[in-house]
Amino acid sequence: MVPLLVVLLLALLLFGAGFAVQALWWIAVIVLAVWLLGFVVRPGAAGGRRGRWYRW
């Protein structure tokens, strides 16, 4: 009985980790898209001065 519970707990833990990794991949893709979009849009460039959209 105990080995079955250990296996079920391990499966549940791995499922949760897999879901978290999948969610982190989607967040990384969204951040990359926003970052690349910032190079195309360039806020502040229309006002005559060439500004950066980020503050690094």
**Domain span at 30:** 1-56
What the block records as the tokens of 53 is 């959209």
Residue 51 pLDDT exceeds 90? no
Q: Quick check: 38 and 54 in contact, CB under 8 A?
A: yes
In this prediction, residue 47 carries a pLDDT of 52
Give the pLDDT band of residue 30 (cuts 50, 70, 90).
Answer: very high
Dihedral (CA of 3, 4, 5, 8) sign: positive
Q: Which residue has the higher pLDDT, 21 or 55?
A: 21
What the block records as the tokens of 51 is 């500004």
What lies within 8 Å, CB to CB, of 53 at 6+ separation is 38, 39, 41, 42, 43, 44
In this prediction, residue 52 carries a pLDDT of 58
Number of domains making up the chain: 1
Give the pLDDT band of residue 45 (cuts 50, 70, 90).
Answer: low
Q: Which residue has the higher pLDDT, 14 or 38?
A: 14
Quote the CA–CA distance of 28 and 23 in Å, as a whole number.
9
Q: Which residue has the higher pLDDT, 6 or 54?
A: 6
